[in-house]
Chains A and B, each alone.
Chain A
Amino acid sequence: MAKFFAITIIVIAILSAIPILRHTWEAPEDISTHGALIDEQTSETMAEAGISFLAAQFVLAFFIWKFSNPGPNAKLKNFPGGAKGLVIAAFLVVGIEVLALGIFGAKAWANVYLTAPSADAVPIQVQAQQFAFYFRYPGPDGKFGRLDPAQINDTTENFFGIDANDPAGKDDIVTAEMAIPVNREIHLLMHSIDLGHSFFVPALRIQQDFVPGLDVSLHFTATKVGKYEIVCTQLCGLGHYNMKAYLYVYSQEDFDNWLKKEAALQ
């Protein structure tokens, strides 16, 4: 029974590793400038976690195979070096490993969160609510109109509650889908009008929660034209699973045309 158990552990460990090695299920292709660092960090962590996983399972299986139900004459032995060697190994190997992961990972994080958007980044406001995203572009004047929650009105499609008395809001463009120009930095200004939501675009390597009562800012650059999905990852009620929007990454020219078309529809 013990030997069978040892084999089972090894078979499970190998079978678990195969889909990882064969890249059977992977994140969608990265289309961001910052995503490569995250992917690299994930691969390095996978290598270290994978080796730790396989080594631990193999050693466990080997010891179960070797030391279970020995004959009556078997002698007890202790692992050479005892606990001291293992503790030192844990500190040196795992300690250095995690320190390295932490330091390199900090760089990938800093790239997204600890840098300011450039002055010419395209500003887009995104509003989350049960169970939709709405997007607002500042229009030709480059300024967002003031918001007044009391003026939110779904029937007049004033989803943001743009203050009718603020001239800066007259040319604002509100859409239910998001379009951005390729290779231009986007400055996303996020707010929620009701509950916690999240903005997750796997292809963009971006995930950020909306916090009711807080304006959250994020910036990124998409590098590939195409259609991608934006989904909510923060449980927000019964329609959470269906809260989604599409992100269109256009060439600058197509983006300008799209913006014009949307402006005409306002």
Chain B
Amino acid sequence: MHDMSAPAVHHHAPPTGFIRKHVFSLDHKVIGKQYYGLALIAAYVGMGLSWMMRIHLAWTDAPIPGLQLLSKTGAPGGVMTPEYYLQLMTMHGTIMVFFVLTTAPFAAFGNFFLPIQVGAEDMPFPHFNMMSFWVTFTAFIVLMASFFVSDGPTLGGWTQYAPLNAVGAVAGPGQGTGVILWMTSIALFCVGQLLGSLNFIPTTLDLRAKGMSLMRLPLSAWAWFITSCMGLTAFAVLMPACILAILDHVAGTSFFVASNLVINGQPIAHSGGSTLLWQHLFWFFGHPEVYIAIVPGIGIVSHILITNMRKPILSHRTLIYSMGALAVLSYMVYGHHMFVSGMNPYSSLAFSFPTLVITIPSTIIVLIATFSLYGSKLRINSASLFALGFISMFVSGGVSGFFLAQPSIDIMLHATYFVVGHFHLVMGVAAMFGIFAGTYFWFPKMTGRMMNETLGKIHFWLSFVGAYCIFMPFHYLGMAGNVRRYSSFPDDFLQPLIPVHRFITVAALITGAAQLIFLYNLIHSRFWGKPAPDNPWEATSLEWSTPTPPPFDNFGGELPVVYHDPYQYGVQSSAGDYVMQTSPEQVKTEHEEK
């Protein structure tokens, strides 16, 4: 359907040169695909690292074939050293949180679809947008480079706590050059995401098509908008924090290093800094980051579920307000990462209550998504399966937050596998399910070809069951006191837990292998998949009213006019049980938001 009775605007000719078209492209769609490609590479690198970590945890002295090729000193004879375990763990966390969970749902899908969903030809600052990707790409290269420096990447974990992050190589392998590369990479990453956010916000506010009121924006567009607002403030704090840490290394400053430290028998020259300052700065970014990873997933999954339920969600407005509430509250709760850090114990109570309160908007989101299924005509396909799986995972990961929000319980669970299970389910697996749902749903529009549904469903089943087999036992381990970030478990009380670790490792290897099915499906479908029609899911939002794949300026030189709410399903129109936002056809609807 190409009903765009629209004001004609001048048609932009697409670039013809290879470099402008595919490399330094100004087209938000190409940039979105570039982000997706980067996230894809990063995800498989991150997953490969987790495989090696899991094998090492289950069979500590077993050689991992080929690992010595990655680092002779880190894995002599293929057997991982404790420090190399920590280095791989740090890289796994950093790659996954920054280069997968932030880039794929927000930067990749957001770049590709936000301008189309609001009815714009592109973002307002295409050069910034291009810079955003290439700075992020450079950040990834800088991070990867740390694998190849003499003592390897930093071992300080993705949180890079001070003063381990600021005192140099005396603290351990990777703590010199490795840390500087990490800090440089993340500072660059922040610049990339700030440039991205600077584009997302005006795209949503200023470039909406005629008739596209804010309440007519699809939930995915709202999610990207809210996320970009969070990104603007969160990354703006982490970037200077990283620069300060670099200065501690190279300029002799002492932002994060206290006086009179003696490391490895060597007095440290710094004085007067604050160890906890890093934690405050990091978590002021770090907790909003959790929502930067998951809010786009909430938007994407809602968008997909509504399409497959063939009826609007119970309340569009309430879901938007709830996502907004998550964003605002995310800045007030960060101290729950620091309950036993040594900060004032009264602060812990102050941070505990907003953390508990954040369960209210989360619950509203889950209830609205779940109870909207009531009375629907739910279509089951790979995209909707992953979207439904998202709800299940979000609940499972979310309820363990009840425990970690309370300082008294955190005394027992802090820094254990309980925390690892919690955040992997709620921001790792749930967000990944959002990414998979988005991929199966939007792949036809992005590439012009359909993905293989059978392979998609096999991928879903193995991932859904596999993820539970991996991450639910993490909670049990944590409750038994199993400390995280240990390269092996020599403590007496941890010995009985090793069989559980072995079970998790086997589950991780199988679930990881299932992701190769996805990769095969992605590549095979890209080149040999069935050609996709313009609107294969009978959806209503603007991305489905463009040709497939969309032309350079999205709407072929005309701007669309919007006549309806984003989700007018369950109506009687000439198209079927839905009416597209761009269709001027008047249909009987229950309610229009305007």
Q: Most A CB atoms within 10 A — which of B164, B310, B489?
A: B164
- Name B467-494 residues within 8 Å CB distance of A: 468, 472, 476-477, 479-481, 483-493
- Name B367-392 residues within 8 Å CB distance of A: 367-368, 370-380, 385, 388, 391-392
Q: B447 near A: Cβ within 8 Å?
A: no
Smallest CB separation, A259 vs chain B (Å): 25
A83-B402 CB under 8 A given contacts A90-B364, A109-B349, A200-B415: no
A241 interface neighbour in B275, B341, B376, B490, Cβ under 8 Å: B490
Smallest CB separation, A229 vs chain B (Å): 6
Which single residue of chain A is at the shortest CB-CB distance from B365?
A90
Quick check: A90 and B360 within 8 Å, CB to CB? yes
Contacts of B486 in A (CB 8 A): 240-241
Quick check: B412 and A49 within 8 Å, CB to CB? no
Stretch from A132-140, A165-173, A211-219, A247-255 that touches the partner: A211-219
Contacts of B367 in A (CB 8 A): 86-87, 89-90
Quick check: A235 and B485 within 8 Å, CB to CB? yes
Produce 1/0 per residue, A97-140, CB < 8 A to B. Answer: 01101100111110011100000000000000110000000000
- Name A64-94 residues within 8 Å CB distance of B: 64, 67-70, 74-79, 82-84, 86-87, 89-91, 94
Stretch from B11-19, B94-102, B211-219, B263-271 that touches the partner: B263-271
Q: Determine the distance from Cα of A56 to Cα of B500 in the docked complex, in whole angstroms.
A: 27
Q: Determine the distance from Cα of A1 to Cα of B479 in the docked complex, in whole angstroms.
A: 35
Quick check: A213 and B402 within 8 Å, CB to CB? no
Quick check: A1 and B258 within 8 Å, CB to CB? no
B491 interface neighbour in A107, A112, A229, Cβ under 8 Å: A229
- Name B72-106 residues within 8 Å CB distance of A: 81-83, 86
Q: B150 near A: Cβ within 8 Å?
A: no
Q: B353 near A: Cβ within 8 Å?
A: yes
Quick check: B275 and A213 within 8 Å, CB to CB? yes
Q: Determine the distance from Cα of A76 to Cα of B378 in the docked complex, in whole angstroms.
A: 10
A42-B412 CB under 8 A given contacts A79-B372, A90-B367: yes
A212-B275 CB under 8 A given contacts A27-B412, A83-B318, A233-B483: yes
Quick check: A38 and B267 within 8 Å, CB to CB? no
Q: B173 near A: Cβ within 8 Å?
A: yes
Which single residue of chain A is at the shortest CB-CB distance from B375?
A77
Contacts of B406 in A (CB 8 A): 41, 45, 101-102, 105, 109
Quick check: B267 and A82 within 8 Å, CB to CB? no
Contacts of A108 in B (CB 8 A): 408-409
Q: B582 near A: Cβ within 8 Å?
A: no
Q: Determine the distance from Cα of A194 to Cα of B490 in the docked complex, in whole angstroms.
A: 23
Which single residue of chain A is at the shortest CB-CB distance from B175?
A237
Q: Determine the distance from Cα of A52 to Cα of B468 in the docked complex, in whole angstroms.
A: 17
Smallest CB separation, A182 vs chain B (Å): 20
Known: A19-B476, A50-B399, A60-B373. 18 other contacts (CB 8 A): A16-B472, A28-B481, A63-B370, A63-B373, A68-B380, A69-B380, A78-B374, A86-B371, A87-B364, A90-B363, A102-B356, A149-B261, A150-B267, A161-B262, A193-B261, A200-B481, A202-B481, A233-B414
Which residues in A have some Cβ–Cβ distance to B below 8 Å?
1-2, 5, 8-9, 12, 16, 19-20, 24-28, 37-38, 41-42, 45-46, 48-50, 52-53, 56-57, 59-60, 63-64, 67-70, 74-79, 82-84, 86-87, 89-91, 94-95, 98-99, 101-102, 105-109, 112-114, 129-130, 149-150, 152, 154, 161, 193-196, 198, 200, 202, 205-214, 216, 229, 231-242, 244
Which residues in B have some Cβ–Cβ distance to A below 8 Å?
81-83, 86, 155-157, 161-164, 167, 171-173, 175, 257-265, 267, 273-276, 309-311, 314-315, 318, 340-342, 345-346, 348-349, 352-353, 356-357, 359-360, 363-364, 366-368, 370-380, 385, 388, 391-392, 395-396, 399-400, 402-403, 405-409, 411-412, 414-416, 457, 464-465, 468, 472, 476-477, 479-481, 483-493, 497, 500, 570
A-B contact pairs, 7 of them (CB 8 A): A5-B385, A27-B481, A49-B399, A107-B408, A198-B415, A237-B155, A241-B485
